[in-house]
Amino acid sequence: MSSDTGATAVGGRGRIEIDGLTKAYGSGGDRIVAVDGVDLTVEPGEFVAVLGPSGCGKSTILECVAGYFEPTAGSVRVDGEPVSGPGPDRGVVFQENRLFPWKTVRENVAFGPEMRGRPTDGVDGLLERMGIAEFADAYPGQLSGGMAQRAELARLLANEPSIMLMDEPFSALDAMTRERMQVESLSAWRETAATTLFVTHDVEEAIFLADRVVVVSARPGRVKTVVDVPLDRPRRHDVRTSEAFTSLKGELLASIHGEAGVEFAEPSSPQGGGDRRTGPRRPEP
Amino acid sequence: MIDDVRGRSVAVLGLLAVWWFVGGTVAAGLPTPPAVAVAFGDALTDPSFAESAATSAARVYVSFAVAAALAIPIGLFAGWHGPFADLTMPAVELLRPVPPIAWVPAVILLLPGTEPGIVFITFLGAFFPILLNALEGARGVDREYAKAARSLGADAPATVYHVALPGAMPSIATGLYVGMGLAWINLVAAEMLAGGTGLGYVTWSAYTGGSYPYIVVGMLSIGILGVLSSAAVRQLDRWLVPWSHGVGT
Protein backbone atom coordinates (compact mmCIF):
# COMPACT_ATOMS: atom_id res chain seq x y z
CA MET A 1 0.00 0.00 0.00
CA SER A 2 1.08 3.58 -0.49
CA SER A 3 2.96 5.61 2.03
CA ASP A 4 0.40 8.37 2.60
CA THR A 5 -2.84 6.60 3.27
CA GLY A 6 -3.10 8.36 6.62
CA ALA A 7 -1.67 7.24 9.90
CA THR A 8 -4.50 5.33 11.50
CA ALA A 9 -6.78 4.46 8.59
CA VAL A 10 -9.83 5.02 10.82
CA GLY A 11 -8.67 2.27 13.12
CA GLY A 12 -8.48 -0.14 10.23
CA ARG A 13 -12.15 0.21 9.35
CA GLY A 14 -13.55 0.20 5.86
CA ARG A 15 -12.64 -3.23 4.61
CA ILE A 16 -14.80 -4.24 1.64
CA GLU A 17 -15.17 -7.92 0.78
CA ILE A 18 -17.06 -8.72 -2.41
CA ASP A 19 -17.58 -12.41 -2.82
CA GLY A 20 -19.05 -14.01 -5.94
CA LEU A 21 -21.21 -10.94 -6.53
CA THR A 22 -23.81 -11.54 -9.24
CA LYS A 23 -26.55 -9.09 -10.14
CA ALA A 24 -29.19 -9.82 -12.77
CA TYR A 25 -32.15 -7.71 -13.84
CA GLY A 26 -35.44 -8.96 -15.25
CA SER A 27 -36.33 -12.56 -15.81
CA GLY A 28 -36.77 -15.12 -18.58
CA GLY A 29 -35.70 -13.91 -21.99
CA ASP A 30 -35.28 -10.33 -20.76
CA ARG A 31 -32.86 -11.35 -18.07
CA ILE A 32 -29.70 -9.28 -18.17
CA VAL A 33 -26.74 -10.28 -16.09
CA ALA A 34 -25.03 -7.02 -15.19
CA VAL A 35 -22.36 -8.45 -12.93
CA ASP A 36 -21.26 -12.05 -12.84
CA GLY A 37 -19.26 -13.62 -10.03
CA VAL A 38 -17.12 -10.66 -9.03
CA ASP A 39 -14.60 -11.24 -6.25
CA LEU A 40 -12.78 -8.24 -4.86
CA THR A 41 -11.34 -7.34 -1.50
CA VAL A 42 -10.42 -3.76 -0.76
CA GLU A 43 -8.23 -3.20 2.28
CA PRO A 44 -8.87 -0.38 4.75
CA GLY A 45 -7.53 2.89 3.39
CA GLU A 46 -6.89 1.51 -0.06
CA PHE A 47 -7.82 3.39 -3.25
CA VAL A 48 -9.16 1.01 -5.88
CA ALA A 49 -10.32 2.08 -9.32
CA VAL A 50 -12.86 -0.06 -11.13
CA LEU A 51 -12.20 0.46 -14.83
CA GLY A 52 -14.37 -0.69 -17.69
CA PRO A 53 -16.43 0.40 -20.67
CA SER A 54 -19.88 1.92 -20.21
CA GLY A 55 -22.56 -0.59 -19.42
CA CYS A 56 -20.11 -3.15 -18.08
CA GLY A 57 -21.81 -3.29 -14.71
CA LYS A 58 -19.07 -1.50 -12.81
CA SER A 59 -21.56 0.95 -11.34
CA THR A 60 -23.68 -2.01 -10.24
CA ILE A 61 -20.77 -3.28 -8.16
CA LEU A 62 -20.53 0.09 -6.46
CA GLU A 63 -24.29 0.31 -5.89
CA CYS A 64 -24.29 -3.10 -4.22
CA VAL A 65 -21.57 -1.87 -1.86
CA ALA A 66 -23.62 1.30 -1.23
CA GLY A 67 -26.56 -0.96 -0.36
CA TYR A 68 -28.97 0.28 -3.03
CA PHE A 69 -29.42 -3.21 -4.47
CA GLU A 70 -29.53 -6.70 -3.08
CA PRO A 71 -27.13 -8.98 -4.93
CA THR A 72 -28.79 -11.77 -6.92
CA ALA A 73 -26.08 -14.09 -5.65
CA GLY A 74 -22.92 -13.71 -3.64
CA SER A 75 -22.30 -11.25 -0.87
CA VAL A 76 -20.90 -7.85 -0.04
CA ARG A 77 -19.48 -7.36 3.42
CA VAL A 78 -18.08 -4.26 5.04
CA ASP A 79 -15.86 -4.85 8.05
CA GLY A 80 -17.24 -8.37 8.19
CA GLU A 81 -20.90 -7.31 8.28
CA PRO A 82 -23.14 -8.08 5.29
CA VAL A 83 -24.41 -4.89 3.64
CA SER A 84 -28.15 -4.63 4.25
CA GLY A 85 -28.88 -1.11 3.01
CA PRO A 86 -27.40 2.35 2.54
CA GLY A 87 -25.59 3.83 5.49
CA PRO A 88 -23.49 6.85 6.42
CA ASP A 89 -20.36 4.73 6.82
CA ARG A 90 -20.32 4.46 3.01
CA GLY A 91 -20.46 7.89 1.38
CA VAL A 92 -21.39 8.09 -2.29
CA VAL A 93 -20.54 10.64 -4.97
CA PHE A 94 -22.65 10.23 -8.09
CA GLN A 95 -21.87 11.07 -11.69
CA GLU A 96 -24.59 13.68 -11.89
CA ASN A 97 -24.54 15.54 -8.62
CA ARG A 98 -27.27 14.63 -6.18
CA LEU A 99 -27.10 17.77 -4.10
CA PHE A 100 -30.59 18.53 -2.80
CA PRO A 101 -31.77 21.40 -5.03
CA TRP A 102 -33.98 22.74 -2.23
CA LYS A 103 -31.14 23.16 0.25
CA THR A 104 -28.33 25.69 0.09
CA VAL A 105 -24.77 24.41 -0.29
CA ARG A 106 -24.19 24.85 3.44
CA GLU A 107 -27.41 23.00 4.31
CA ASN A 108 -26.45 20.20 1.93
CA VAL A 109 -23.04 19.78 3.50
CA ALA A 110 -24.49 19.92 7.02
CA PHE A 111 -27.14 17.33 6.16
CA GLY A 112 -25.14 14.22 7.07
CA PRO A 113 -23.95 15.42 10.48
CA GLU A 114 -27.47 16.70 11.23
CA MET A 115 -29.03 13.34 10.38
CA ARG A 116 -26.60 11.62 12.68
CA GLY A 117 -26.97 14.10 15.52
CA ARG A 118 -23.40 15.32 15.14
CA PRO A 119 -22.22 18.92 15.51
CA THR A 120 -22.18 20.94 12.29
CA ASP A 121 -19.70 23.63 13.27
CA GLY A 122 -17.04 22.10 11.03
CA VAL A 123 -19.10 22.74 7.93
CA ASP A 124 -17.93 26.28 7.21
CA GLY A 125 -14.29 25.26 7.56
CA LEU A 126 -14.87 22.41 5.16
CA LEU A 127 -16.51 24.73 2.62
CA GLU A 128 -13.50 27.02 2.98
CA ARG A 129 -11.08 24.18 2.36
CA MET A 130 -12.98 22.96 -0.68
CA GLY A 131 -12.97 26.49 -2.12
CA ILE A 132 -16.74 26.87 -2.12
CA ALA A 133 -17.21 29.13 0.92
CA GLU A 134 -18.49 31.97 -1.28
CA PHE A 135 -21.29 29.67 -2.49
CA ALA A 136 -22.38 28.59 1.00
CA ASP A 137 -25.76 30.29 0.71
CA ALA A 138 -26.29 29.51 -2.98
CA TYR A 139 -28.61 26.79 -4.18
CA PRO A 140 -27.09 23.94 -6.22
CA GLY A 141 -28.94 25.13 -9.33
CA GLN A 142 -26.75 28.22 -9.28
CA LEU A 143 -23.44 26.28 -9.28
CA SER A 144 -21.27 25.22 -12.19
CA GLY A 145 -20.68 21.49 -12.67
CA GLY A 146 -17.24 21.62 -11.08
CA MET A 147 -18.44 23.59 -8.06
CA ALA A 148 -21.37 21.23 -7.63
CA GLN A 149 -19.05 18.20 -7.55
CA ARG A 150 -16.86 20.01 -5.03
CA ALA A 151 -19.93 20.62 -2.88
CA GLU A 152 -20.95 17.00 -3.21
CA LEU A 153 -17.48 15.87 -2.18
CA ALA A 154 -17.67 18.26 0.79
CA ARG A 155 -21.04 16.80 1.77
CA LEU A 156 -19.52 13.35 1.78
CA LEU A 157 -16.45 14.44 3.76
CA ALA A 158 -18.60 16.17 6.39
CA ASN A 159 -19.93 12.75 7.28
CA GLU A 160 -16.47 11.24 7.83
CA PRO A 161 -17.29 7.94 6.13
CA SER A 162 -14.89 5.03 6.39
CA ILE A 163 -15.62 4.22 2.75
CA MET A 164 -16.00 6.57 -0.22
CA LEU A 165 -17.84 5.24 -3.24
CA MET A 166 -17.39 7.36 -6.34
CA ASP A 167 -19.36 6.58 -9.47
CA GLU A 168 -17.69 8.36 -12.41
CA PRO A 169 -17.91 11.56 -10.38
CA PHE A 170 -15.95 13.72 -12.82
CA SER A 171 -16.95 12.31 -16.18
CA ALA A 172 -19.38 15.14 -16.88
CA LEU A 173 -16.74 17.79 -16.26
CA ASP A 174 -14.41 19.38 -18.80
CA ALA A 175 -10.88 17.97 -18.94
CA MET A 176 -9.19 20.71 -16.92
CA THR A 177 -11.77 20.79 -14.17
CA ARG A 178 -11.67 17.01 -14.06
CA GLU A 179 -7.91 16.96 -13.49
CA ARG A 180 -8.24 19.49 -10.69
CA MET A 181 -11.00 17.45 -9.08
CA GLN A 182 -8.86 14.31 -9.27
CA VAL A 183 -6.21 16.03 -7.18
CA GLU A 184 -8.91 17.29 -4.80
CA SER A 185 -10.24 13.81 -4.32
CA LEU A 186 -6.74 12.48 -3.62
CA SER A 187 -6.33 15.15 -0.93
CA ALA A 188 -9.71 14.20 0.50
CA TRP A 189 -8.75 10.57 0.49
CA ARG A 190 -5.41 11.25 2.17
CA GLU A 191 -7.09 13.37 4.83
CA THR A 192 -9.85 10.94 5.67
CA ALA A 193 -7.91 7.72 5.07
CA ALA A 194 -11.20 6.31 3.84
CA THR A 195 -11.22 3.20 1.71
CA THR A 196 -12.14 4.37 -1.78
CA LEU A 197 -13.84 2.54 -4.61
CA PHE A 198 -13.72 4.75 -7.70
CA VAL A 199 -15.62 3.71 -10.81
CA THR A 200 -14.36 5.18 -14.08
CA HIS A 201 -14.08 4.53 -17.79
CA ASP A 202 -11.01 6.74 -18.06
CA VAL A 203 -7.73 4.76 -18.04
CA GLU A 204 -5.56 7.72 -17.10
CA GLU A 205 -7.88 8.72 -14.28
CA ALA A 206 -7.75 5.19 -12.89
CA ILE A 207 -3.94 5.09 -12.94
CA PHE A 208 -3.51 8.61 -11.58
CA LEU A 209 -5.75 7.98 -8.59
CA ALA A 210 -5.58 4.36 -7.58
CA ASP A 211 -3.39 1.92 -5.71
CA ARG A 212 -4.92 -0.87 -7.75
CA VAL A 213 -6.92 -0.88 -10.96
CA VAL A 214 -9.56 -3.55 -11.45
CA VAL A 215 -10.46 -4.03 -15.11
CA VAL A 216 -14.03 -5.18 -15.62
CA SER A 217 -15.19 -6.78 -18.86
CA ALA A 218 -18.52 -5.96 -20.49
CA ARG A 219 -21.78 -7.95 -20.44
CA PRO A 220 -21.66 -9.63 -18.09
CA GLY A 221 -19.33 -7.66 -15.86
CA ARG A 222 -16.47 -9.84 -14.70
CA VAL A 223 -13.11 -9.00 -13.21
CA LYS A 224 -10.67 -9.35 -16.04
CA THR A 225 -7.40 -8.23 -14.54
CA VAL A 226 -6.20 -6.50 -11.43
CA VAL A 227 -3.15 -4.28 -11.87
CA ASP A 228 -1.10 -2.67 -9.10
CA VAL A 229 -0.11 0.97 -9.63
CA PRO A 230 3.49 1.33 -8.47
CA LEU A 231 3.56 5.14 -8.58
CA ASP A 232 4.77 7.16 -5.60
CA ARG A 233 2.46 9.36 -3.61
CA PRO A 234 1.66 12.16 -3.29
CA ARG A 235 1.10 12.23 -7.02
CA ARG A 236 1.47 15.29 -9.19
CA HIS A 237 0.21 15.96 -12.66
CA ASP A 238 3.62 15.35 -14.25
CA VAL A 239 3.38 11.70 -13.25
CA ARG A 240 1.04 11.34 -16.23
CA THR A 241 3.98 11.69 -18.61
CA SER A 242 6.31 9.35 -16.71
CA GLU A 243 7.44 6.11 -18.25
CA ALA A 244 5.87 3.97 -15.54
CA PHE A 245 2.54 5.69 -16.17
CA THR A 246 2.56 5.24 -19.93
CA SER A 247 3.61 1.61 -19.80
CA LEU A 248 0.83 0.92 -17.29
CA LYS A 249 -1.60 2.72 -19.56
CA GLY A 250 -0.48 0.53 -22.46
CA GLU A 251 -0.98 -2.57 -20.38
CA LEU A 252 -4.50 -1.56 -19.32
CA LEU A 253 -5.51 -0.48 -22.82
CA ALA A 254 -4.33 -3.80 -24.17
CA SER A 255 -6.42 -5.56 -21.55
CA ILE A 256 -9.53 -3.56 -22.46
CA HIS A 257 -9.01 -3.67 -26.23
CA GLY A 258 -8.24 -7.33 -26.13
CA GLU A 259 -11.96 -7.82 -26.09
CA ALA A 260 -13.60 -4.88 -27.82
CA GLY A 261 -10.79 -3.80 -30.12
CA VAL A 262 -9.77 -7.02 -31.79
CA GLU A 263 -13.08 -8.70 -32.31
CA PHE A 264 -14.87 -5.72 -33.76
CA ALA A 265 -11.76 -4.15 -35.25
CA GLU A 266 -12.75 -0.74 -34.01
CA PRO A 267 -10.52 2.23 -34.69
CA SER A 268 -9.00 2.75 -31.28
CA SER A 269 -9.72 5.96 -29.49
CA PRO A 270 -7.28 7.02 -26.77
CA GLN A 271 -9.49 5.48 -24.11
CA GLY A 272 -10.57 2.31 -25.79
CA GLY A 273 -13.31 1.23 -28.14
CA GLY A 274 -16.62 0.83 -26.38
CA ASP A 275 -15.91 3.70 -24.13
CA ARG A 276 -17.99 6.53 -25.49
CA ARG A 277 -20.69 7.73 -23.21
CA THR A 278 -23.86 8.76 -24.91
CA GLY A 279 -25.69 10.19 -21.94
CA PRO A 280 -26.38 13.88 -21.62
CA ARG A 281 -23.51 15.94 -20.37
CA ARG A 282 -23.73 19.06 -18.39
CA PRO A 283 -21.61 21.76 -19.98
CA GLU A 284 -19.21 23.53 -17.72
CA PRO A 285 -20.07 27.22 -17.88
CA MET B 1 -43.85 47.69 -12.96
CA ILE B 2 -45.56 50.76 -14.39
CA ASP B 3 -46.49 48.75 -17.46
CA ASP B 4 -47.84 46.07 -15.17
CA VAL B 5 -50.12 48.54 -13.40
CA ARG B 6 -51.13 50.10 -16.70
CA GLY B 7 -51.98 46.69 -18.13
CA ARG B 8 -54.17 45.85 -15.20
CA SER B 9 -55.96 49.20 -15.35
CA VAL B 10 -56.71 48.61 -19.02
CA ALA B 11 -58.20 45.20 -18.20
CA VAL B 12 -60.37 46.55 -15.37
CA LEU B 13 -61.50 49.59 -17.38
CA GLY B 14 -62.27 47.31 -20.32
CA LEU B 15 -64.47 45.17 -18.09
CA LEU B 16 -66.28 48.31 -16.91
CA ALA B 17 -66.84 49.46 -20.50
CA VAL B 18 -68.23 46.10 -21.59
CA TRP B 19 -70.46 46.01 -18.52
CA TRP B 20 -71.81 49.50 -19.22
CA PHE B 21 -72.31 48.80 -22.89
CA VAL B 22 -74.11 45.49 -22.30
CA GLY B 23 -76.23 47.08 -19.58
CA GLY B 24 -77.19 49.96 -21.91
CA THR B 25 -78.11 47.75 -24.86
CA VAL B 26 -79.05 44.08 -24.67
CA ALA B 27 -79.44 43.59 -20.91
CA ALA B 28 -81.33 46.62 -19.77
CA GLY B 29 -81.98 45.15 -16.33
CA LEU B 30 -78.26 45.06 -15.49
CA PRO B 31 -77.40 47.68 -12.86
CA THR B 32 -75.05 50.31 -14.29
CA PRO B 33 -71.59 50.97 -12.81
CA PRO B 34 -72.68 54.24 -11.12
CA ALA B 35 -75.66 52.52 -9.46
CA VAL B 36 -73.38 49.73 -8.24
CA ALA B 37 -70.80 52.25 -7.06
CA VAL B 38 -73.44 53.94 -4.94
CA ALA B 39 -74.57 50.60 -3.57
CA PHE B 40 -70.95 49.65 -2.88
CA GLY B 41 -70.52 52.88 -0.94
CA ASP B 42 -73.60 52.04 1.11
CA ALA B 43 -72.32 48.50 1.71
CA LEU B 44 -68.94 49.69 2.92
CA THR B 45 -70.58 51.81 5.61
CA ASP B 46 -72.97 49.02 6.59
CA PRO B 47 -71.51 46.99 9.47
CA SER B 48 -73.56 43.92 8.57
CA PHE B 49 -71.91 43.82 5.14
CA ALA B 50 -68.43 43.91 6.66
CA GLU B 51 -69.53 41.17 9.00
CA SER B 52 -70.67 39.03 6.08
CA ALA B 53 -67.36 39.52 4.32
CA ALA B 54 -65.45 38.63 7.47
CA THR B 55 -67.61 35.55 8.00
CA SER B 56 -66.97 34.33 4.46
CA ALA B 57 -63.25 34.98 4.69
CA ALA B 58 -63.00 33.17 8.02
CA ARG B 59 -64.87 30.16 6.59
CA VAL B 60 -62.53 30.00 3.62
CA TYR B 61 -59.34 30.31 5.64
CA VAL B 62 -60.35 27.79 8.29
CA SER B 63 -61.48 25.28 5.66
CA PHE B 64 -58.38 25.92 3.58
CA ALA B 65 -56.04 25.44 6.54
CA VAL B 66 -57.71 22.19 7.59
CA ALA B 67 -57.67 20.94 3.99
CA ALA B 68 -53.97 21.71 3.62
CA ALA B 69 -53.14 20.13 6.97
CA LEU B 70 -54.83 16.87 5.92
CA ALA B 71 -54.21 16.77 2.18
CA ILE B 72 -50.48 17.51 2.18
CA PRO B 73 -49.42 14.60 4.46
CA ILE B 74 -51.83 12.12 2.86
CA GLY B 75 -50.92 13.10 -0.70
CA LEU B 76 -47.23 13.19 0.07
CA PHE B 77 -47.22 9.76 1.66
CA ALA B 78 -49.37 8.25 -1.09
CA GLY B 79 -47.14 9.67 -3.80
CA TRP B 80 -43.97 8.52 -2.09
CA HIS B 81 -45.10 5.11 -1.00
CA GLY B 82 -46.95 3.16 -3.71
CA PRO B 83 -48.85 0.66 -1.52
CA PHE B 84 -50.41 3.49 0.50
CA ALA B 85 -51.63 5.09 -2.72
CA ASP B 86 -53.25 1.81 -3.82
CA LEU B 87 -55.00 1.67 -0.45
CA THR B 88 -56.41 5.20 -0.46
CA MET B 89 -56.52 6.70 -3.93
CA PRO B 90 -59.38 4.65 -5.44
CA ALA B 91 -61.70 6.09 -2.78
CA VAL B 92 -60.43 9.58 -3.50
CA GLU B 93 -60.91 9.13 -7.23
CA LEU B 94 -64.52 8.11 -6.60
CA LEU B 95 -65.34 11.10 -4.41
CA ARG B 96 -63.37 13.75 -6.27
CA PRO B 97 -65.69 14.27 -9.27
CA VAL B 98 -68.77 14.73 -7.06
CA PRO B 99 -69.72 18.43 -7.45
CA PRO B 100 -69.99 20.46 -4.24
CA ILE B 101 -73.75 20.97 -4.65
CA ALA B 102 -74.27 17.20 -4.74
CA TRP B 103 -72.80 17.00 -1.24
CA VAL B 104 -75.43 19.32 0.20
CA PRO B 105 -78.19 16.76 1.02
CA ALA B 106 -75.75 14.38 2.63
CA VAL B 107 -74.15 17.21 4.58
CA ILE B 108 -77.56 18.44 5.82
CA LEU B 109 -78.37 14.93 6.99
CA LEU B 110 -75.01 14.17 8.57
CA LEU B 111 -73.79 17.44 10.03
CA PRO B 112 -75.72 19.40 12.66
CA GLY B 113 -76.33 23.09 11.93
CA THR B 114 -75.39 25.11 8.87
CA GLU B 115 -71.91 26.25 9.90
CA PRO B 116 -70.19 22.82 9.87
CA GLY B 117 -71.92 22.05 6.56
CA ILE B 118 -70.68 25.22 4.87
CA VAL B 119 -67.17 24.73 6.22
CA PHE B 120 -67.16 21.09 5.06
CA ILE B 121 -68.20 21.91 1.50
CA THR B 122 -65.64 24.71 1.34
CA PHE B 123 -63.06 22.28 2.71
CA LEU B 124 -63.83 19.82 -0.12
CA GLY B 125 -63.04 22.48 -2.69
CA ALA B 126 -59.56 22.98 -1.31
CA PHE B 127 -58.88 19.40 -0.24
CA PHE B 128 -58.84 17.55 -3.58
CA PRO B 129 -56.58 19.84 -5.60
CA ILE B 130 -54.09 20.05 -2.74
CA LEU B 131 -54.18 16.28 -2.26
CA LEU B 132 -53.70 15.43 -5.92
CA ASN B 133 -50.92 17.96 -6.40
CA ALA B 134 -49.08 16.71 -3.32
CA LEU B 135 -49.45 13.18 -4.65
CA GLU B 136 -48.18 13.99 -8.14
CA GLY B 137 -45.44 16.14 -6.68
CA ALA B 138 -44.15 13.34 -4.47
CA ARG B 139 -44.38 10.86 -7.35
CA GLY B 140 -42.27 13.11 -9.48
CA VAL B 141 -39.38 13.43 -7.03
CA ASP B 142 -36.20 11.80 -8.36
CA ARG B 143 -35.54 8.77 -6.18
CA GLU B 144 -31.80 9.30 -6.58
CA TYR B 145 -32.12 12.06 -3.97
CA ALA B 146 -33.56 9.53 -1.56
CA LYS B 147 -30.56 7.26 -2.18
CA ALA B 148 -28.24 10.16 -1.46
CA ALA B 149 -30.15 10.97 1.74
CA ARG B 150 -30.00 7.36 2.95
CA SER B 151 -26.27 7.21 2.28
CA LEU B 152 -25.84 10.34 4.39
CA GLY B 153 -27.59 8.73 7.35
CA ALA B 154 -31.23 9.80 6.93
CA ASP B 155 -33.85 7.26 8.04
CA ALA B 156 -37.17 6.78 6.22
CA PRO B 157 -39.14 9.55 8.02
CA ALA B 158 -36.27 12.01 7.61
CA THR B 159 -36.12 11.13 3.90
CA VAL B 160 -39.81 11.98 3.55
CA TYR B 161 -39.31 15.28 5.35
CA HIS B 162 -36.06 16.33 3.68
CA VAL B 163 -36.53 14.84 0.20
CA ALA B 164 -40.17 14.03 -0.62
CA LEU B 165 -41.69 17.16 0.95
CA PRO B 166 -39.37 19.79 -0.55
CA GLY B 167 -39.24 17.86 -3.83
CA ALA B 168 -43.03 17.95 -4.02
CA MET B 169 -43.27 21.55 -2.78
CA PRO B 170 -43.54 23.30 -6.15
CA SER B 171 -46.46 21.05 -7.01
CA ILE B 172 -48.00 21.49 -3.55
CA ALA B 173 -47.79 25.27 -3.99
CA THR B 174 -49.77 24.92 -7.22
CA GLY B 175 -52.32 22.77 -5.38
CA LEU B 176 -52.69 25.44 -2.70
CA TYR B 177 -53.26 28.10 -5.34
CA VAL B 178 -55.91 26.08 -7.16
CA GLY B 179 -57.41 24.93 -3.86
CA MET B 180 -57.85 28.50 -2.64
CA GLY B 181 -59.82 29.36 -5.76
CA LEU B 182 -62.07 26.33 -5.46
CA ALA B 183 -62.61 26.98 -1.76
CA TRP B 184 -64.17 30.35 -2.64
CA ILE B 185 -66.32 28.79 -5.36
CA ASN B 186 -67.63 26.09 -3.02
CA LEU B 187 -68.12 28.55 -0.19
CA VAL B 188 -70.38 30.79 -2.25
CA ALA B 189 -72.45 27.83 -3.46
CA ALA B 190 -72.84 26.55 0.10
CA GLU B 191 -73.74 30.00 1.49
CA MET B 192 -76.37 30.55 -1.16
CA LEU B 193 -78.03 27.27 -0.29
CA ALA B 194 -77.63 27.36 3.46
CA GLY B 195 -78.58 30.99 3.98
CA GLY B 196 -77.98 32.96 7.14
CA THR B 197 -74.68 34.79 6.71
CA GLY B 198 -71.80 35.38 4.36
CA LEU B 199 -71.29 37.09 1.02
CA GLY B 200 -72.94 34.25 -0.91
CA TYR B 201 -76.07 34.71 1.15
CA VAL B 202 -75.90 38.51 0.78
CA THR B 203 -75.76 38.14 -2.99
CA TRP B 204 -78.64 35.68 -3.05
CA SER B 205 -80.85 37.69 -0.72
CA ALA B 206 -80.17 40.80 -2.82
CA TYR B 207 -81.74 38.90 -5.68
CA THR B 208 -84.73 37.67 -3.68
CA GLY B 209 -85.10 41.16 -2.15
CA GLY B 210 -85.00 42.82 -5.58
CA SER B 211 -82.04 45.16 -4.94
CA TYR B 212 -80.14 44.39 -8.11
CA PRO B 213 -77.13 46.69 -7.65
CA TYR B 214 -76.46 44.77 -4.46
CA ILE B 215 -76.18 41.52 -6.44
CA VAL B 216 -73.27 43.01 -8.34
CA VAL B 217 -71.79 44.38 -5.11
CA GLY B 218 -71.85 40.85 -3.71
CA MET B 219 -70.29 39.40 -6.83
CA LEU B 220 -67.54 42.01 -6.93
CA SER B 221 -66.78 41.58 -3.23
CA ILE B 222 -66.39 37.83 -3.69
CA GLY B 223 -64.16 38.44 -6.71
CA ILE B 224 -61.97 40.93 -4.86
CA LEU B 225 -61.57 38.71 -1.79
CA GLY B 226 -60.80 35.74 -4.05
CA VAL B 227 -58.10 37.68 -5.88
CA LEU B 228 -56.55 38.84 -2.61
CA SER B 229 -56.57 35.28 -1.23
CA SER B 230 -54.91 33.90 -4.35
CA ALA B 231 -52.30 36.65 -4.21
CA ALA B 232 -51.60 35.70 -0.59
CA VAL B 233 -51.09 32.06 -1.62
CA ARG B 234 -48.75 33.19 -4.42
CA GLN B 235 -46.69 34.97 -1.78
CA LEU B 236 -46.69 31.78 0.24
CA ASP B 237 -45.16 30.07 -2.81
CA ARG B 238 -42.13 32.38 -2.74
CA TRP B 239 -41.65 31.45 0.87
CA LEU B 240 -42.20 27.70 0.39
CA VAL B 241 -40.08 27.29 -2.74
CA PRO B 242 -37.24 29.77 -2.30
CA TRP B 243 -34.78 27.74 -4.41
CA SER B 244 -36.82 28.14 -7.57
CA HIS B 245 -36.88 31.92 -7.21
CA GLY B 246 -33.09 32.16 -7.13
CA VAL B 247 -30.78 33.31 -9.88
CA GLY B 248 -31.40 31.81 -13.30
CA THR B 249 -33.19 28.71 -12.19
Interface check for B145 against chain A (CB to CB < 8 A): the answer is yes
Nearest-CA distance A264 → chain B (Å): 35
Q: Which residue of B has its CA nearest to A142?
A: B247
Q: How confident is the model at residue B25 (pLDDT cuts 50, 70, 90)?
A: confident
Cross-chain Cβ contact A98/B249 below 8 Å:
no
CB pairs < 8 Å spanning A and B:
71
Q: Choose the closest CB to A116 out of B144, B150, B153.
A: B153
Query: Predicted confidence band at A8 (pLDDT cuts at 50, 70, 90)?
Result: very low
For A77-87, the pLDDT digits (tens) are: 999 999 999 99
Which fold does the domain A9-275 belong to in CATH?
A: Rossmann fold (3.40.50)
Q: Which amino acid is at A125?
A: G
Q: What percent of chain B has pLDDT over 70?
A: 97
Query: What DSSP letter does each residue of chain B carry, written as one string?
Result: -HHHHHHHHHHHHHHHHHHHHHHHTT-TTSPPHHHHHHHHHHHHH-HHHHHHHHHHHHHHHHHHHHHHHHHHHHHHHHHHSHHHHHHHHHHHHHHTTS-HHHHHHHHHHHSSSHHHHHHHHHHHHHHHHHHHHHHHHHHTS-HHHHHHHHHTT--HHHHIIIIIHHHHHHHHHHHHHHHHHHHHHHHHHHHHHH-SSSHHHHHHHHHHHT-HHHHHHHHHHHHHHHHHHHHHHHHHHHHH-GGGGSS--
Where are the domains positioned within chain A? 9-275
- Would the CB atoms of B154 and A94 count as touching at under 8 Å? no
What is the structure's pLDDT at B53? 93
Q: Worst-scoring range by mean pLDDT, A222-226, A253-257, B117-121?
A: A253-257
In the three-class reduction of DSSP (H, G, I as helix; E, B as strand; rest coil), residue A164 is classed as: strand
What digits encode the pLDDT tens for the residues B177-194?
999 999 999 999 999 888
Q: Which of A115, A137, A149 to mutate to test the interface with B (most CBs of B within 10 A)?
A: A115
Q: Do B169 and A68 touch (CB under 8 A)?
A: no
Mean pLDDT across B95-105:
85
Nearest-neighbour CA in chain B from A33: distance (Å): 22
Average model confidence (pLDDT) for chain B? Answer: 89
What is the ipTM score, two decimals? 0.81
Task: Report CB contact under 8 Å: A141, B151.
Answer: no
Taking contacts as CB-CB distances below 8 angstroms, the residues of chain A near B147 are: 66, 68, 86, 92, 98
Q: How confident is the model at residue A274 (pLDDT cuts 50, 70, 90)?
A: very low
For the segment(s) B32-245, the CATH number from 3.40.710.10, 3.40.30.10, 3.90.420.10, 1.10.3720.10 is: 1.10.3720.10
Q: Tens of pLDDT along B207-235?
A: 888 888 889 999 999 999 999 999 999 88
Tell me which residue in A86, A112, A141 faces B147 most closely, judged by beta carbons.
Answer: A86
